[in-house]
């Protein structure tokens, strides 16, 4: 396996086996040219204005491969996060969300400046597609939706080898900046609580979180999840009981350890 080649069938099978995901793991890829995006096999193009949340949902809930340009998006906020719209003074001012999500223009500007976004100028199009479709070869990032219980197992899998503390952020509304925006910008895993817009327009369920991460992290995560499973740690975690003898339960897990 190289940095450009992944067995996404095996990866998705592993995620399904260990996490019991309820929706399709998908990929997202940015393109410098519109023609390159439109050349993807079986690509669908929107006929009306959408939010990026809706485009993502069409891939993860319907299994579609969908491509967009900034002209397909309903506003600057969606386009700016993925680098398709300028992060200019009008955008940075936050005037459109002042009094809507934030009391003052200073609060709104602070929000805009806190967002992790792809720098504008390089990319002109974006596409999403189920990982197993094999059409993005490979995607820049992968998007995995799951419950908090599923996400902590995924984090544990990522930390099985090469441990490091994982830190995640929340800008509040426009939380896609904390997931796909941050992962595209930094190349690191990014977990967040989806915002109102993602739930209203993207159909994100009340109990769902979103992890966005480059595909290079997934083989190691699957290896980690498999190792944890062998050690008896499997999703969903079975409740032990709030009044039981915890020492007895711990003895099963750590009986061979010093």
pLDDT, one tens digit per residue, over 51-108 is 999 999 999 999 999 999 999 999 999 999 999 999 999 999 999 999 999 999 999 9
Closest CA to 90 of 74, 72, 75: 75
- Residue pair 190/212 in contact (Cβ under 8 Å)? The answer is yes
pLDDT category at 4 given cuts 50, 70, 90 is low
**pLDDT of 235 above 80:** yes
Instruction: Return the pLDDT at 254.
Output: 84
Instruction: Return the pLDDT at 5.
Output: 87
Rounded Cα distance between 31 and 127, Å, is 8
**pLDDT of 2 above 70:** no
**pLDDT of 39 above 60:** yes
Instruction: Return the pLDDT at 257.
Output: 56
pLDDT tens sequence across 108-162: 999 999 999 999 999 999 999 999 999 999 999 999 999 999 999 999 999 999 9
Rounded Cα distance between 123 and 185, Å, is 13
Sign of the C-alpha dihedral computed for residues 41, 176, 1 and 230 taken in this order: negative
- Residue pair 51/173 in contact (Cβ under 8 Å)? The answer is no
pTM of the entire predicted model: 0.95
Average pLDDT taken over every residue of the chain: 95
Residue 48 DSSP class:
S
Q: Which residues pair with 206 in a beta bridge?
A: none
Instruction: Return the pLDDT at 1.
Output: 37
């Amino acid at each position: 396996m190289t940095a450009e080649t992944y067995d996404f069938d095996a990866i998705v099978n592993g995620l399904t086996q260990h996490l019991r995901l309820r929706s399709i793991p998908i990929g997202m890829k940015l393109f410098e040219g519109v023609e390159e995006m439109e050349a993807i096999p079986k690509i669908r193009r929107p006929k009306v204005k959408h939010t990026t949340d809706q485009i993502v949902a069409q891939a993860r809930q319907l299994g579609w491969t969908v491509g967009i340009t900034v002209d397909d998006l309903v506003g600057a906020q969606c386009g700016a996060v993925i680098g398709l719209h300028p992060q200019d003074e009008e955008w940075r001012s936050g005037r459109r969300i002042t009094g809507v999500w934030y009391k003052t223009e200073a609060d709104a500007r602070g929000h805009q400046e806190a967002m992790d976004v792809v720098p504008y100028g390089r990319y002109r199009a974006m596409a999403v597609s189920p990982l197993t479709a094999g059409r993005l070869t490979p995607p820049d990032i992968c998007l995995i939706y799951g419950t908090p219980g599923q996400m902590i197992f995924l984090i544990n899998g990522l930390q099985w080898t090469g441990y490091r503390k994982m830190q995640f952020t929340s800008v509040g509304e426009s939380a896609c900046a904390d997931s796909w925006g941050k992962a595209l910008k930094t190349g690191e895993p990014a977990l967040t609580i989806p915002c109102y817009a993602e739930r209203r327009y993207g159909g994100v369920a009340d109990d769902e979180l979103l992890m966005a991460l480059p595909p290079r992290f997934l083989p190691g995560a699957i290896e980690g999840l498999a190792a944890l499973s062998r050690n008896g740690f499997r999703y969903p975690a079975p409740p032990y009981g709030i009044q039981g003898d915890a020492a007895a339960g711990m003895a099963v897990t750590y009986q061979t350890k010093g």
